[in-house]
Amino acid sequence: MTDTALTPERLQAAVLHHLTYTIGKDAPHASLHDWRMALCYAIRDRVVGPWFASTRRTWEEDRKRVYYLSMEYLIGRILEDAAMNLGLRDMAVEVMEGFGQDFHALVEDEPAAALGNGGLGRLAACFMESMATLGCPAYGYGIRYEHGLFRQRFEAGQQVEAPEDWLTTTNPWEFDRPESAYTIGFKGHVETVKGRERWVPGETVTASAHDTPVVGWQGRWANTLRLWSAKPTTLFDLERFNRGDYAAAAEPEALARTISRVLYPDDTTYAGKELRLKQEFFMTSAALQDILRRYLASHSDLSRLHEKVAIQMNDTHPAIAGPELMRLMMDDHGVSFEEAIQTAQKVLGYTNHTLLPEALERWSTYLFGNVLPRHMQIIERIDDWHRKTYANQAHYIGIVKFQEVHMGELAFMMSHKVNGVSALHSELVKTSLFPELAAQHPDRIVNETNGVTPRRWLNMCNRPLSGLITGTIGEAWVGELDRLRELEPHIEDAGFRAAFGAAKRANKEAAAAWIKRECGVVVSPDALFDVHVKRIHEYKRQLLNILQTVAHWHAIRENPTADWVPRVKIFGGKSAPGYWVAKEIIHLINDVANVVNSDPVVGDRLKVIYPANYNVPMAELLMPAADLSEQISTAGKEASGTGNMKFMMNGAPTIGTLDGANIEILEEVGAENFFLFGLTAEEVVARRQNPDHAREAILASQSLQDVLQMLAEGRFSPDQRDRYHGVVDRVWHHDYFLVASDFAAYEAAQGAVDAAYRDRDRWQRMAAMNTARAGFFSSDRTIRGYMKDIWSTESAL
Ligand code: 26Q
């Protein structure tokens, strides 16, 4: 039974039981996969107790529930995380050893759920874990994509995408809930019956639920991640089948399932595809129907919905929630427009994650009105209402502009709170994204600086360091990350610093061994590991890094006998499949790596490593091994960043610009423990006013001129000398992200890094200070902020 204390004997029996009766295998013939599944089921059993208890408490106490709506959850592997939160990891290691199974190998056998692109999806996963840890009654809603984010390979240095298939083997963490199913409509027309509007969809699919329990630290609370998969509403066409028309008979089924087939792999440019709109409505409508069903099971008065329900929209992707909630209230429950809009606003919150204009969702009214005709009507009415309520505007503020539906404006108008994800970003949301709306609603925009869960991103992924921390200050820091400050007095202790250095060293050795296996390149753990991992995007400026890398290589060749600090430049990241400029940068990094890594003059003093398929498990390996965190976006462009926080926690100082949460990292850790460089957000805007900004910057830096010259001559592409003419031309003439203007400052900052690293004692202090001051960046702090400022809800613990 789950409520008796677990002993190694009981866990052993549970694993054996599942191996036999769930997997149907005899121990002598069981594969690694069989053992892994048996262990997952045994661990999952232990989650069920807290899960039921939490659900029961929430019902009994009629608590307010938080509903997080997100098109992405970048969860990663679950086994070790769940085992650790339940306090069972060490026991599992021991028990599996008894079966002759290596725990680490079992962990690695699990496919990492990659139902997200990057930051936004990973944030949703961290939030789910923190809400469980804090005892905040919550559900996450999303899509159970059959194929998550594509796998990346390199062929001749270029990105090639392959489908991801995390569901080819059974997912042991989910419970299918076929009884929780809703009909989702598309297209069709609107009828008026007895003065009430009624949508008659032309197509329908069924959304069917799959629940994954999410258990918090120490198993005190567990919430549900409910992912929807699409199924045909009607069974396949038997008549056609009997006629022998097998393909046609299966067609409706295939079409319906298309909706939850694959995650859109683009995280920056909005494409305006019908399937994407259908996915968004599919997830949102299923969630709202489920939320109202649960509410109406114990309440009847929809006007008090906000007392028991808070719905958070993760960017505008679920922004159709506003009109859909109103439609359900008005058309199905007879609520008036005025009451419906007021209730919806009190319930909904909107988090903005980007200012990039190309990423803001806008749908053509033609497409939108075709797929969601009733919602189009409601949106037009919201627009009218808003215009009347906030009259006398200098110019038109609305949702529908130039035949397009603007989802940002819609989400803003339908929410009681709108938040940015770092202090700078929230300020820019106010002043540059929604200036008019912000003036009309001065209290609506708030800031909730992002955070990451320290359970996964320090305690789990960095055993050497977390062991040292726990040995030094006890284990309470895992649940109260601010307590990392208690490390500070120990930093004065040379013994502690040596132990801190030894932990980093162990992680670097592990990473070096992995790099050897993965890339066939030998790197020295004595070198400075300089890590730049994130999606590839022009604004994130991987180009700036690789250009400086070329400059550094060139400098070593010019003066090979000088006392260089050995460096390993590590890159990781995927490009959206259609983002050609990003793909060119990937190609360039791989081409530079080829030349540098085979240069006998340079040897161990510089290596360039770019392992393919950066994902959550790779981050868990590389972040603990990093000496230096690259956070070098053009100021004003990175909403927050969260990788920056993970590096900091794991004792890697940042080289970075004043952008996103870098600014808050700098404030926490102090300028002496951060390598700051580059133009500020304001200077960036001013700099672009000068049409000669790039040319002037290039002419002022001999080093940058040399680098661009080498690229132009084909030094890194001897098989195709003109390959990087486009890159060089863009730096000279179309340098929107100011690579040239920040180059000299970046190069100087890298020089300062070398100088600091030479002084090992100084570096050790900096690294340890980064960990000690990382407390603010726990997603527990972020979630407490949302609970207080946006959701008006309290912990059940
Ligand atoms: C939109 C329409 C159609 C298809 C795809 C999309 C789409 C999908 C994903 C648009 C954007 C995204 C993801 C954005 C994202 O990850 N933003 C990042 O969010 C992090 C968490 O707040 C921040 O730390 C990062 O700064 C921000 O870039």
The set of residues, in sequence order, having a beta carbon less than 8 Å from that of 792 and lying 6+ positions away, is 64, 310
Residues pairing with 68 in the sheet: 140, 312
| Ligand 1 pocket mutation pick from 69, 353, 362, 647 by most atoms within 8 angstroms of CB | 353
d(CA 78, CA 240): 43
pLDDT of res. 700: 98
Instruction: Determine whether the shortest distance from the Cβ of 421 to ligand 1 is under 6 A.
Output: yes
Are 570 and 596 contacting, i.e. CB atoms less than 8 angstroms apart?
no
pLDDT of res. 199: 98
Q: Both tokens of residue 532?
A: 């730049």
Are 731 and 429 contacting, i.e. CB atoms less than 8 angstroms apart?
no
pLDDT of res. 5: 84
Instruction: Determine whether the shortest distance from the Cβ of 117 to ligand 1 is under 6 A.
Output: yes
The 8-class DSSP code of residue 452 comes to B
| Ligand 1 pocket mutation pick from 145, 267, 631 by most atoms within 8 angstroms of CB | 267
Cα(353) to ligand 1 centroid in Å equals 6
Ligand 1 atom at minimal distance to the Cα of residue 639:
26
* Catalytically annotated residues: 353, 534-535, 540, 642, 646
Q: Which residues of the chain have pLDDT under 70?
A: 1-4, 392-395
> How far is C-alpha 776 from the chain's CA centre?
19
pLDDT of res. 612: 98
d(CA 307, CA 69): 18
| Ligand 1 pocket mutation pick from 150, 273, 354, 404 by most atoms within 8 angstroms of CB | 354
d(CA 549, CA 542): 10
d(CA 246, CA 9): 53
Instruction: Determine whether the shortest distance from the Cβ of 118 to ligand 1 is under 6 A.
Output: yes
Are 648 and 630 contacting, i.e. CB atoms less than 8 angstroms apart?
no
Nearest-CA residue for ligand 1 atom 12 is 267
Q: Up-side HSE of residue 476: CA atoms within 13 Å toward CB?
A: 9
d(CA 621, CA 24): 34
Ligand 1 atom at minimal distance to the Cα of residue 121:
16
Place of tokens 């060089």: 728
Ligand 1 atom at minimal distance to the Cα of residue 273:
3
Cα(116) to ligand 1 centroid in Å equals 9
Ligand 1 atom at minimal distance to the Cα of residue 271:
3
pLDDT of res. 270: 75
The set of residues, in sequence order, having a beta carbon less than 8 Å from that of 143 and lying 6+ positions away, is 71, 115, 227, 228, 229, 260, 263, 279, 282, 283
| Other Cβ atoms within 10 Å of 473 Cβ, number | 17
Q: Both tokens of residue 34?
A: 């069989």
Instruction: Determine whether the shortest distance from the Cβ of 174 to ligand 1 is under 6 A.
Output: no
Q: With H, G, I as helix, E, B as strand and everything else as coil, classify residue 198.
A: strand
